Amino acid sequence: MTARPGGVNHFPRIVATEECVTASHKRVGIRDVANAAGVSITAVSWTLNGKGEVAESTRRRIREVAESLGYQPNEAARSLQSGRSRILGVAIAHRNSRSWEQTYLPYYRSVVAGAAMEAVEHGHAVAAIPFEADGRMRFTMPIDGMVVVDPVRDDPILAECRRRGITVVTDGRPIDEVHDDEPMVQSDTARGLAELFGRLDDLQVRSPALLIGPEADSYTLDSTRYFRNWCRRAGHSTRVVRLKPGQDPVEAAGDLLDETERPGAIHSLNETYGNAVLEAAGRRRLRVPQDLAVTMMGDATSVAPGNGAVYLVLDPVAVGAAATRLLVGALDHESVEDLLLPCRVVDSPQWA
């Protein structure tokens, strides 16, 4: 800035060319594409949104012109027009439990990863949505659909999604009948546990026990039922140990191993509890599996070869992808059916 005589400031004159204004401020719209391609606005709109009847040669011409002009769709306008944000959520719960960091967090990460990669294939994005204990969303987002993991009885997240009109797919069976119409993805734990318990039959274990957490979700309830049924068929007494909220899993496993009739096998609902059993057994100099057979549920990353445990491995990445496929189908008003995904037993060489 320079000063004119007499104290009047003089600002240099700045001339903005049309090219600068266009490059910096003007957004290329469908009208610009239509004018450049020599077609109607409707033809451009239909082509870019995959709708209507437009000759293939014209579609190609419109796409080429749109790309050369640097056309970018206005997502806000698209959302207003379609009524959809194209954002899917994975509901995050269980954050206050002791096993969150070791068990739930890795599982959720894998579900979100599988959901995100599948969503991209369908033109959607995925967000991890934290929920409060009462079911309230931590923050408001325009969510089209939600994946809810391990529903519980009177599930507050399912209730909140229903109140908001959010389409839901569950990972695991909804417990309450009011949510029976929700599509679900479920790991085939019935078949997997039958195979796992067959391994325990082969070892001729005595007095088996099941170690579960305080959460009354469908996965916990179903696993407990399968365990009780196996015990009844095999002639075992049923011993189910439920951790109290906030209880140290190693302490709970140690108390179980210190009982007068020590179990010959313990199946744990997740790797946090399974590793706690291994730690408690090590402190008592118990050999696995010679003195104590240890089995647990987990994913591929939790398997530790050489520790003597046998794993029933789930695939949360596949669960997230499958749930997203169902969710997109439901949002597109397609007929969707529940999916049952396989899980596999990973044996320990010490059991041979």
pLDDT tens for each residue of 174-206: 998 888 889 999 999 999 999 999 999 999 999
The verdict on domain 86-352 having CATH code 3.20.20.210 is no
- Mean pLDDT value of segment 101-108: 77
**What band does 97 get if pLDDT is binned at 50, 70 and 90?**
low
Burial label, 8 (beta-carbon count in 10 A; 0-12, 13-18, 19+): exposed
pLDDT at 100: 66
Q: Tell which residue, 200, 255, 265, 281, has the closest CA to residue 233.
A: 200
Q: Are 209 and 256 in contact (CB under 8 A)?
A: yes
Span 300-325, pLDDT tens digits: 888 888 899 999 999 999 999 999 99
**What band does 145 get if pLDDT is binned at 50, 70 and 90?**
very high
Q: Which segments of the chain belong to CATH 1.10.260.40? A: 2-73
Q: How far is CA 256 from CA 74, 84, 299, 308, in A?
A: 61, 52, 25, 19
Q: Mapping DSSP to helix (H, G, I), strand (E, B) and coil, where does residue 217 land?
A: strand
Q: What is the mean pLDDT of the chain?
A: 85
CA distance 52 to 284: 72
CA distance 63 to 58: 9
pTM listed for this prediction: 0.74
- Mean pLDDT value of segment 161-169: 91
Burial label, 202 (beta-carbon count in 10 A; 0-12, 13-18, 19+): exposed
The CATH number given to 2-73 is 1.10.260.40
Burial label, 128 (beta-carbon count in 10 A; 0-12, 13-18, 19+): middle
Span 8-24, pLDDT tens digits: 344 333 333 333 333 44
Span 23-45, pLDDT tens digits: 444 677 788 889 999 998 888 87
pLDDT at 24: 41
Q: Are 104 and 91 in contact (CB under 8 A)?
A: no
Q: Does residue 218 carry a pLDDT above 80?
A: yes
Q: How far is CA 175 from CA 56, 108, 115, 190, 217, in A?
A: 50, 20, 23, 17, 8
Residues 6+ apart with CB under 8 A from 162: 168, 179
CA distance 231 to 289: 19
Residue 311 — φ and ψ, nearest 5°?
-115, 145
Edge-to-edge strands of the sheet including 293-299?
240-242, 208-212, 265-268, 293-299, 310-314, 344-346
Q: Which segments of the chain belong to CATH 3.40.50.2300? A: 86-352
- Mean pLDDT value of segment 150-154: 89
